[in-house]
């Protein structure tokens, strides 16, 4: 930059600042909090307080200014230079400045307009983060009590359903009145068309850590087909599909909902289930889900196997070849546990490398279903590569053991064990997908 140019630039900055408008809460600021913070900072969600109303926000202004300027909030851990996701929730530089100068100006309210928060609280009451109320919520019939004895528990709940008709799913989300005690949840939707298979009188819940697990046999008749498999981990939100894309909610069947309750210091109840949002337009492309790595395809091919020695940092690889149809990805969901340090996935073809997702500094507490801007095409024959790095040293503050000890990945995948998993949400490829965007 030469001198005169620099002067001109400096001059511009000054003149912009001196004309800087005063931001007001209802006109400029509230919408930023609703879009970027209130997904978690609302009743029933993972965050410790609400950020919805003027009062919620103004009384925490110092704290908010700090965590937005230093980038701690909103949490977002993907490397956006590697892949561009549409659900990224960071604030732009301009939004951070808007919040900061509004706080510095003494947080003027502007013309009071409660419409946005009234609508948001209505949706919150309905237990959803989506932009409208669910068309159907299927929940456990009875609340579950997680005892405050410091034990973690793996529970599976059966939620039977019989609907008036099939329906086209536009969006789906896990819902709970108490997400703070949940470490993660997974759910499968199984159609049960045969009326001679009873969906009601079999057991309704199983604790996988006790002999109740043998009752799982009662549910095997439901598991012949599965139309959907989804999940929730702190930080993740709903899954929604573009026009023409989705899946068919069967008329009759069961949801098998697996919930991993974290250790709790006092008794806590939760009622959990799944929200469905339907659309009337037909579904031309049916969404499918596969899981690669621990608990899924290629689990045994992880190299070296997930056996992470005390005081070691190690990287483990998995390669899975797409031997079936060409597919177009909508979402990816990387998953590791507490000593995860870095996660990278990409696909290779004879001529190309296709970036899928990179989390440079893995943080177990913040996980997300990442949504692509455009279809990511994985042709038959392309190879999906997953690299997971783990830090099992004492320097890792997330290490569940002090001093560190050998960490394995065995059947029940407790949170103090490890996983290397990548979930792919996709549709079969259609011509010209490379040129489309998902919106």
C-alpha distances (whole Å) from 162 to each of 85, 119, 172, 328 are: 36, 30, 18, 32
414: Cα within 13 Å, side-chain hemisphere:
11
Which residues of this protein are in contact with ligand HEC, per CB under 6 A?
A: 36-37, 39-41, 46-48, 51, 60, 63-64, 67-68, 73-75, 89, 91, 235
User: Nearer to ligand HEC by C-beta: 235 or 250?
Assistant: 235
Helices (H), 81-166: 93-104, 115-125
User: Nearer to ligand HEC by C-beta: 33 or 390?
Assistant: 33
Of 317, 330, 335, 243, the closest CA to residue 280 belongs to: 243
Minimum CB separation of residue 59 from ligand HEC in Å reads 11
H or E element in which residue 61 lies: helix 61-69
User: Nearer to ligand HEC by C-beta: 65 or 317?
Assistant: 65
Minimum CB separation of residue 398 from ligand HEC in Å reads 12
Q: Is the peptide bond before 403 cis (omega within 30 degrees of 0)?
A: yes
**378 alpha-carbon distance from chain centroid:** 22
User: Nearer to ligand HEC by C-beta: 10 or 49?
Assistant: 49
Report d(CA 334, CA 420) in Å as an integer.
Answer: 8
Collapsing DSSP to helix, strand or coil, 220 comes out as helix
**CA angle centred on 264, ends 270 and 122, rounded to 5°:** 35
Are 320 and 291 a contacting pair, CB within 8 Å? no
C-alpha distances (whole Å) from 14 to each of 17, 18, 92, 107 are: 5, 6, 21, 23
Minimum CB separation of residue 105 from ligand HEC in Å reads 17
Minimum CB separation of residue 68 from ligand HEC in Å reads 5
User: Nearer to ligand HEC by C-beta: 74 or 246?
Assistant: 74
Minimum CB separation of residue 38 from ligand HEC in Å reads 8
Minimum CB separation of residue 35 from ligand HEC in Å reads 9
Are 345 and 331 a contacting pair, CB within 8 Å? no
User: Nearer to ligand HEC by C-beta: 43 or 381?
Assistant: 43
User: Nearer to ligand HEC by C-beta: 221 or 360?
Assistant: 360
User: Nearer to ligand HEC by C-beta: 46 or 292?
Assistant: 46
C-alpha distances (whole Å) from 198 to each of 49, 193, 254 are: 43, 10, 10
Residue whose token pair is 């696909």: 347
Minimum CB separation of residue 325 from ligand HEC in Å reads 34
Minimum CB separation of residue 422 from ligand HEC in Å reads 20
């Amino acid at each position: 930059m030469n001198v005169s140019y620099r002067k001109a630039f400096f001059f511009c900055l000054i003149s912009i600042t001196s004309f800087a408008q005063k931001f007001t809460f209802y006109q400029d600021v509230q919408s930023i909090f609703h879009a970027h913070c209130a997904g978690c900072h609302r009743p029933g969600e993972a965050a410790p307080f609400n950020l919805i109303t003027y009062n919620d926000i103004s009384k925490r202004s110092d704290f908010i200014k700090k965590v937005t300027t230093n980038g701690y909030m909103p949490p977002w851990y993907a490397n956006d230079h590697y892949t561009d996701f549409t659900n990224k929730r960071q604030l732009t530089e301009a939004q951070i400045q808007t919040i900061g100068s509004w706080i510095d100006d003494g947080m003027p309210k502007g013309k009071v307009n409660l419409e946005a928060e009234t609508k948001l609280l209505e949706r919150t009451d309905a237990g959803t983060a989506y932009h409208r109320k669910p068309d159907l919520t299927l929940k456990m019939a009875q609340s579950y009590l997680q005892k405050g004895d410091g034990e973690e528990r793996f529970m599976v709940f059966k939620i039977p359903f019989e609907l008036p008709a099939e329906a086209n799913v536009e969006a789906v989300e896990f819902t709970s009145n108490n997400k703070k005690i949940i470490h993660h949840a997974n759910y499968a939707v199984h159609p049960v068309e045969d009326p001679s298979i009873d969906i009601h009188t079999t057991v309704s819940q199983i604790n996988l850590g006790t002999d109740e697990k043998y009752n799982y046999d009662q549910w095997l008749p439901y598991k012949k087909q599965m139309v959907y498999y989804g999940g929730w981990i702190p930080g993740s939100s709903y899954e929604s599909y573009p026009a023409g894309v989705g899946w068919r909610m069967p008329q009759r069947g069961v949801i098998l909902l697996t919930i991993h309750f974290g250790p709790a210091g006092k008794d806590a109840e939760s009622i959990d289930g799944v929200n469905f949002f339907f659309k009337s337009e037909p579904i031309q492309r049916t969404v499918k889900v596969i899981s690669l790595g621990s608990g899924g395809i290629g689990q045994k091919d992880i190299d070296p196997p997930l056996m992470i020695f005390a005081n070691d940092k190690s990287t483990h690889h998995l390669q899975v070849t797409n031997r079936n149809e060409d597919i177009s990805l909508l979402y990816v969901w990387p998953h590791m546990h507490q000593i995860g340090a870095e996660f990278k996935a990409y696909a290779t073809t004879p001529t190309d490398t296709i970036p899928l997702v990179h989390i440079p500094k893995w943080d177990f507490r913040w996980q997300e279903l990442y949504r692509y801007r455009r279809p990511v095409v994985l042709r038959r024959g392309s190879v999906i590569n997953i690299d997971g790095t783990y830090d099992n040293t004492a320097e890792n503050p997330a290490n569940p053991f002090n001093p560190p000890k050998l960490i394995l990945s065995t059947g029940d995948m407790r949170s103090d064990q490890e996983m290397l998993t990548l979930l792919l949400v996709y549709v079969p490829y259609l011509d010209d997908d490379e040129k489309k965007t998902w919106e």
